[in-house]
A and B are shown apart, each in its own frame.
Chain A
Amino acid sequence: MGTQRDLRSLADEDLMALVQRGEPDAFEVLYDRHADASFSLAYRMVGTRPAAEDVVQEAFLAIWRSRVRYRSDRGSVRTWVLGIVHHRAVDGLRRHLVHDRRRGGDSETAELREAPERTDLEVVRRDEADRVRTALGSLPEDQSRVIELAYFGGFTHAEISGMLEMPLGTVKGRMRLGLDKMRRELQEAV
């Protein structure tokens, strides 16, 4: 096992190999690397700090306990981690675990993260975040709304259809149109 400093210099995939051998130090570095993104996603979805922390804790424990299932040929570690966080948040929302708390959000968690170190990777991620926000923001409202309700709200297409009083086929069509448009925007921006 390397020192924390050695571990922090490793790429995610190399860290994950150590995590898969049951190394908690490697897992800690992996957590540190993706904790804020995971918490930010969970907080956006469930609306309060305690509920978001529950989601992140459950997700990372699931990651630790199912670490052997990660396969690098199926995508990056970050995508895998955030996918599990998203899945746990949706699960919580659908179980109404945080049903009464996500409407308004809590004011004490409105703080924004302090500027992290300007590592090359962080610069790339900020740039990516800007591009994704721009692409999402450039969609017609009827498309961005169904995408946000589905992905961040955890609602099924049938629930969205009922909420917006819109035929199911229209909801699905708008999801497709919106994602296709985002993809084109993002490809052009690269």
Chain B
Amino acid sequence: MRDHDRYREDLAPYALGALTELEHSALERHVMGCEECARELEGLRRTVDLLPAAVPAHAASPELRASLMATVRAEADAARVAEASPATAPVRAEPRRSWRDRLRIAVPRPALALAAAAAVAVASVGGYSALDDEPAPVAPTSVAASVDRARLPAAQASLDATGDVGVLRVDGMPNLTGELRYVVWVDRGDGPEYATSFNVRPDGSGTAGVPDVDGVRRVMVTRERTTAVDAPTEQPVLTVALG
């Protein structure tokens, strides 16, 4: 009974998200076996769920939408192709053309999907690639990054670009902890400009949407303690040259 009273005291902090992880887990275990606490918690949660309505309204930026949807669409395309074809689809390299020439090609969505899957399938990210059996025209959309091997010995990265939207794909990168974040910068010739930030999954892979790559000469990634910095505080750990 004493335990029950103690857990009951924790229901409000739990609903507000104010317990530590350990306390949170312990309370969840109790609630699973206690009908009275489960009922009370439900009522508290319904009230807490309304709290977001109390905040002043602000509009999310179009850049955020563009960045997010660039990543989502790239992942959806890659997943669709992965479902439809074997993961080890044959690939071939094409003669290198300028990045801007490649972006000018209008890519129908199925072709983009195949190209995205090929980019995923080629673990070495050796530049750009296309499926052998893809009908022409095939638009290679992936540009490989140069990586600072001293700091990221296992990293691979490439930028897939369609029109003005780019998606940076990385693999083999350390998952950052604490305050550190990977920050993506774009350089149009007049210095680095903040584009977005990201972290990788525990397996070291990740994607970041870069909403506007038009006119960009270099895309760079640095590790920063805060995303409020105006300029990189270290040399890039990876760079994609687009010029």
A residues with CB within 8 A of B: 22-24, 27-28, 31-32, 35-41, 43-44, 48-54, 56-58, 60-61, 64-65, 75, 79, 82-83, 85-87, 90, 95-101, 109, 111-114, 125, 128-129, 132-133, 136, 147, 150-152, 154-158, 160, 169, 171-173, 175-176, 179, 182-183, 186
Chain A proximity mask over B213-233: 1 for CB below 8 Å, otherwise 0: 000000000000011100000
Stretch from B55-63, B120-128, B152-160 contacting the other chain: B55-63
Residue from B10, B16, B50 with most neighbouring chain A CB atoms (10 Å): B16
Q: What count of chain B residues pass the 8 Å CB interface test? A: 53
Q: Which residue of B lies closest to A83 (CB)?
A: B49
Question: CA A44 – CA B226 in complex, angstroms?
Answer: 18
Contact of A113 among B20, B54, B57, B179 (CB under 8 A): B57
- Write out the residue numbers on chain A whose beta carbons fall within 8 Å of the beta carbon of B227: 50-51, 54
Question: CA A101 – CA B53 in complex, angstroms?
Answer: 23
Q: Supply 16 further A-B pairs (C-beta < 8 A) apart from A41-B52, A97-B179.
A: A24-B69, A32-B65, A49-B61, A53-B60, A53-B61, A79-B49, A95-B177, A97-B181, A98-B226, A112-B56, A113-B58, A157-B18, A175-B12, A176-B9, A176-B11, A182-B50
A132, B50: Cβ atoms closer than 8 Å: yes
Question: CA A141 – CA B61 in complex, angstroms?
Answer: 34
A125, B53: Cβ atoms closer than 8 Å: yes
A172, B13: Cβ atoms closer than 8 Å: yes
The verdict on B235 contacting chain A, using a C-beta distance below 8 Å, is: no
Residue from B58, B67, B69, B71 with most neighbouring chain A CB atoms (10 Å): B58
- Write out the residue numbers on chain A whose beta carbons fall within 8 Å of the beta carbon of B9: 169, 172-173, 176
Instruction: Please name 13 pairs of A and B residues whose Cβ atoms are closer than 8 Å in the assembled complex, sorted by A.
Output: A37-B53, A41-B55, A49-B61, A50-B227, A86-B52, A87-B17, A97-B226, A113-B57, A169-B9, A173-B9, A175-B12, A179-B48, A186-B47
Given contacts A24-B69, A31-B69, contact A112 B17 (CB under 8 A): no
- Write out the residue numbers on chain B whose beta carbons fall within 8 Å of the beta carbon of A156: 13, 18-20
Contact of B53 among A109, A129, A158, A179 (CB under 8 A): A129
Stretch from B75-83, B90-98, B129-137, B163-171 contacting the other chain: B75-83
B19, A36: Cβ atoms closer than 8 Å: no
- Write out the residue numbers on chain A whose beta carbons fall within 8 Å of the beta carbon of B15: 179
Tell me the total A-B contact number using a CB cutoff of 8 A: 173
Shortest distance between the CB of B160 and any CB in chain A (Å): 15
Shortest distance between the CB of A170 and any CB in chain B (Å): 11
Chain A proximity mask over B180-203: 1 for CB below 8 Å, otherwise 0: 010000000000001011110000
Question: CA A49 – CA B60 in complex, angstroms?
Answer: 9
Q: Which residue of A lies closest to B80 (CB)?
A: A22
Contact of A35 among B65, B71, B194 (CB under 8 A): B65
Shortest distance between the CB of A62 and any CB in chain B (Å): 11
Contact of A44 among B44, B55, B194, B228 (CB under 8 A): B55
Question: CA A171 – CA B80 in complex, angstroms?
Answer: 50
A57, B58: Cβ atoms closer than 8 Å: no
Question: CA A147 – CA B68 in complex, angstroms?
Answer: 32
Shortest distance between the CB of B103 and any CB in chain A (Å): 21
- Write out the residue numbers on chain A whose beta carbons fall within 8 Å of the beta carbon of B29: none
Contact of A175 among B13, B76, B178 (CB under 8 A): B13
Chain A proximity mask over B27-42: 1 for CB below 8 Å, otherwise 0: 0000000000000000
B61, A43: Cβ atoms closer than 8 Å: no
Question: CA A82 – CA B51 in complex, angstroms?
Answer: 10
Shortest distance between the CB of A32 and any CB in chain B (Å): 8
Question: CA A116 – CA B9 in complex, angstroms?
Answer: 41
- Write out the residue numbers on chain B whose beta carbons fall within 8 Å of the beta carbon of A56: 60, 64, 68
The verdict on B46 contacting chain A, using a C-beta distance below 8 Å, is: yes
B13, A136: Cβ atoms closer than 8 Å: no
Question: CA A169 – CA B46 in complex, angstroms?
Answer: 23
- Write out the residue numbers on chain A whose beta carbons fall within 8 Å of the beta carbon of B198: 57
- Write out the residue numbers on chain A whose beta carbons fall within 8 Å of the beta carbon of B65: 31-32, 35
